[in-house]
């Protein structure tokens, strides 16, 4: 079943304009949602606005939009004034610069949308895709929609498609310097060597997201189905807290199967064949009488 476009727009770079359609790239409907219901009768509850000053429920017709400019002080806006504040949508994604893809940190990514060519834009769409692939660059633009101006990046996706990432603005990213990190003794060369070995041992040539499943979601759906069938559900036992790692070297060795009782790594013979390392058993100490 073909995807349904959520909006139309135009991607431009220089004097080249490409009519495109925007498609959602995520299946948010697959999320598990819960509603607040009346426990006595099971009816879904309605949300109400309550004024703490007058201690009563306020009808929607009595509400107004307000911006808090100081603590508990709001400037009220009429519908026309609120509309005047919003950005006028021009549906144009003007790529004003191109940057190396590896220079755009994923921390700026917020949402993603697929872009497909609209009628008459197929050739220019393919041209932009091939040009970005050849240069290794991705386009950056601002995009006005739904009363706001968004910062976006457009890049090649899949075999011959384009994807648009909605980005955070710089002032929306917190400074990592705010994260407290205490000084620690540098890792020993041997620890680094084993850590690299451990990473290489479980490394993969590419990311395959289909290998991963939201196991918590699957468990929740299974338990909910049991509840629908009339069965009682109980919380699983809490996992035992993991002990703090004190000896990094010992933890790395055990992770690599080099701990006590684990198989010893194989050593290569001069001819290139592998052979088990023979470890002499320790002599048991006799009981002193």
The DSSP line for 160-195 is TEEEEEEE--GGGSPPGGGS-----PPPPHHHHHHH
CB 162 within 8 A of CB 154: yes
Distance CA 209, CA 190 (A): 33
Q: What pLDDT score does 51 carry?
A: 93
The pTM assigned to this predicted structure is 0.69
Architecture, CATH, for domain 1-26+48-174:
Beta Barrel (2.40)
Specify the DSSP class assigned to residue 31.
S
Q: Name the token pair of 272.
A: 């290139």
Residue 200: closest CA among 255, 275, 121: 255
Q: What pLDDT score does 259 carry?
A: 60
What does each C-alpha distance from 243 to 13, 182, 238, 251, 260 come to in angstroms? 55, 20, 15, 11, 18
Q: What pLDDT score does 153 carry?
A: 97
3 state DSSP class of 108: helix
Per-position pLDDT tens, the chain of length 289:
678 898 999 999 999 999 999 999 987 667 788 899 999 999 999 988 999 999 999 998 899 899 898 998 999 888 888 888 776 677 899 999 999 999 999 999 999 999 999 999 999 999 999 999 999 999 999 988 877 889 999 999 988 999 999 999 999 999 999 999 988 888 888 889 999 988 898 888 988 888 878 787 888 888 888 878 888 877 777 766 666 656 778 888 888 887 654 444 444 444 444 444 444 444 444 444 3
Distance CA 137, CA 95 (A): 12
Q: What pLDDT score does 281 carry?
A: 45
Q: What pLDDT score does 29 carry?
A: 61
Residue 146: closest CA among 184, 97, 89: 89
Q: What pLDDT score does 2 carry?
A: 77
């Amino acid at each position: 079943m073909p995807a349904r476009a959520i909006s139309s727009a135009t991607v431009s770079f220089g004097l080249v304009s490409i009519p495109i359609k925007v498609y959602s790239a995520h299946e948010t409907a697959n999320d598990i949602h819960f509603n607040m219901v009346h426990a006595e009768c099971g009816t879904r509850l309605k949300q109400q606005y309550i004024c703490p000053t007058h201690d009563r429920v306020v009808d929607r017709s009595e509400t107004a939009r307000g911006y808090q400019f100081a603590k508990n002080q709001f400037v009220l806006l009429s519908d026309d004034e609120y509309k005047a504040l919003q950005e006028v949508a021009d549906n144009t994604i003007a790529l004003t610069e191109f940057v190396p893809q590896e220079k755009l940190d994923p921390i700026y990514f917020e949402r993603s949308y697929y872009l497909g060519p609209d009628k008459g834009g197929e050739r220019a769409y393919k041209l932009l895709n091939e040009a970005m692939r050849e240069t290794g660059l991705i386009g950056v633009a601002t995009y006005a929609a739904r009363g706001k101006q968004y910062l976006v990046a457009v890049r090649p996706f899949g075999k011959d498609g384009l994807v648009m990432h909605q980005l955070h603005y710089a002032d929306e990213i917190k400074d990592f310097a705010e994260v407290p990190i205490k000084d620690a003794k540098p890792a020993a060369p041997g620890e680094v060597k084993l850590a690299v070995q451990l990473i290489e041992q479980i490394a993969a040539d590419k990311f395959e997201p289909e290998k991963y499943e939201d196991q918590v979601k699957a468990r929740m759906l299974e338990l909910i189905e049991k509840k629908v069938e009339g069965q009682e559900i109980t919380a699983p036992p809490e996992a035992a807290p993991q002990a703090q790692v004190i000896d990094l070297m010992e933890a790395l060795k055990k992770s690599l199967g080099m701990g006590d009782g684990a198989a010893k790594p194989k050593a290569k013979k001069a001819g290139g064949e592998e052979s088990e390392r023979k470890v002499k058993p320790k002599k048991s100490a006799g009981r002193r009488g």
